[in-house]
């Protein structure tokens, strides 16, 4: 299938960033929402993201100009799905809602490849009532999607592997780095790793070993600093599997293996201390601090991508 047109559904946190990714890759891209106002706002946000990439040396002027022309708003879900060869969904993370959504599109646009941006739901279950489940898969973009290269491509039990590889080729053409997740398991790939770390971080705080501030500092100024260019398996092989085995033999029994939310976490949620939007979570969040942290995050990522683009990290 020759893919020329893409539809992206949802104008919340992920939609505009996903849409601009494909427009910058040279694909006609419809950004679909239920209302004209939200669709227009989503397009404006996507174009702003393109300008941000231009201002930071991560896209060129002609590319951005063309991408803005390729972005169009839509409130016609079925029409957008039928005219596109590839559709990406970024609606609410609710299994029943996604099942209804994909069942509808499977019948209305049977020739379109349907991709869910779920961060952990089973794509097999999402496609359970679809007539063509071989054309349904998950593509998990990471926040912020216009910056983070990784996209996890997850195949369901009935997904056609050839179609999954075709989607990966499109993602590569848009500058993304897709990885194939060969089994449809909870948490997929990245979140399984991330939540294993989250569990141990909370365990360390709950046991009084260190404060949340010092846990974050240890990650940011320690092993986290090398992770963009130095993977876990690279580190194990370079340090020596025999060394890692000897450490693992005594350390593994000390690590948390809880299967439930920690009491310290549940208690905060019960009190309403749910994080930055409430002003307090594990950390204190005075007004404006969350925006500063996100700006610092994005600035760091863009600097890394600039260095990579210039070939300085090869």
pLDDT tens readout for residues 150-204: 999 999 999 999 999 999 999 999 999 999 999 999 999 999 999 999 999 999 9
Distance CA 43, CA 36 (A): 11
Confidence of residue 11 (pLDDT cuts 50, 70, 90): confident
Contacts of residue 39, defined as CB under 8 A and 6 or more positions apart, other chains included, come to: 11, 31, 32, 33, 73, 74, 75
Q: Given this model, what pLDDT does residue 308 score?
A: 92
Give the chain's largest Cα–Cα span.
Answer: 60
pTM of the model: 0.94
Which pLDDT score, from 0 to 100, does residue 124 have? 97
**Which has the closest alpha carbon to 7: 261, 65, 17, 22?**
22
Residue 17 pLDDT: 97
Half-sphere exposure in the Cβ direction for 93 (13 Å, CA): 12
Cα 264 versus chain centre, distance? 27
Lowest mean pLDDT among 1-5, 116-120, 148-152: 1-5
pLDDT tens track for 26-72: 999 999 999 999 999 999 999 999 999 999 999 999 999 999 999 99
CATH of segment(s) 5-181: 3.40.50.720
SS3 category, 89: strand
| 130 within 8 A of 102, measured Cβ to Cβ | yes
Q: Which of 102, 100, 177 is nearest to 138 (CA)?
A: 102
Per-residue tokens: 179: 């990885």
Whether 228 has a pLDDT exceeding 80, the answer reads: yes
HEC string of 162-225 equals: HHHHHHHHHHHHCCCEEEEECCCCCCCCHHHHHHHHHHHHHHHHHCCCCCHHHHHHHHHHCHHH
Given pLDDT bands bounded at 50, 70 and 90, which one contains residue 2? confident
Q: Where does the pLDDT of residue 311 fall: very low under 50, low under 70, confident under 90, or very high at 90 and above?
A: confident
Q: What is the CATH number of domain 191-283?
A: 1.10.1040.10
Whether 314 has a pLDDT exceeding 80, the answer reads: no
Split at pLDDT 50, 70, 90, the class of 95 is very high
Q: How far apart are CA 228 and CA 274, in angstroms?
A: 29
Angle between helices 15-24 and 61-70 (to 10 degrees): 120
Q: Domain spans of the chain?
A: 5-181, 191-283
Going by pLDDT thresholds of 50, 70 and 90, the confidence category of residue 310 is confident
The answer on pLDDT for 297 being more than 80 is yes
């Amino acid at each position: 299938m020759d893919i020329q047109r893409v539809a992206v559904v949802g104008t919340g946190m992920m939609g505009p960033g996903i849409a601009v990714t494909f427009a910058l890759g040279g694909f006609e891209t419809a950004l679909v929402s239920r209302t004209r106002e939200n669709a227009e706002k989503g397009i404006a946000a996507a174009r702003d993201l393109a300008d941000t990439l231009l201002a930071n040396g991560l896209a060129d002027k002609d590319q951005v100009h063309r991408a803005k022309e390729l972005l169009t708003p839509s409130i016609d879900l079925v029409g957008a799905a039928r005219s596109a060869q590839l559709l990406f969904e970024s609606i609410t993370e609710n299994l029943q809602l996604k099942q209804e959504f994909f069942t509808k599109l499977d019948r209305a646009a049977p020739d379109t490849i349907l991709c869910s941006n779920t961060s952990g739901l089973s794509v097999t279950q999402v496609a359970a009532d679809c007539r063509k489940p071989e054309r349904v898969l998950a593509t998990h973009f990471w926040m912020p999607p216009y910056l983070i290269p990784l996209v996890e491509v997850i195949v369901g039990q009935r997904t056609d592997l050839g179609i999954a590889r075709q989607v990966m080729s499109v993602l590569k053409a848009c500058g993304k780095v897709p990885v194939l997740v060969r089994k449809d398991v909870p948490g997929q790939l990245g979140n399984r790793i991330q939540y294993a770390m989250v569990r141990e971080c909370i365990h360390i705080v709950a046991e009084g070993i260190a404060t949340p501030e010092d846990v974050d500092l240890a990650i940011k100024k320690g092993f986290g600093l090398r992770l963009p260019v130095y993977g876990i398996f690279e580190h194990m092989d370079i340090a020596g599997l025999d060394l890692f085995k000897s450490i693992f033999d005594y350390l593994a029994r000390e690590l948390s293996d809880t299967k439930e939310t920690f009491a310290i976490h549940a208690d905060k949620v019960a009190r309403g201390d749910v994080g930055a939007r409430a002003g307090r979570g594990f950390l204190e969040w005075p007004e404006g601090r969350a925006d500063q942290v996100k700006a610092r995050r994005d600035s760091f990522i863009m600097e890394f991508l600039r260095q990579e683009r210039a070939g300085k990290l090869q």
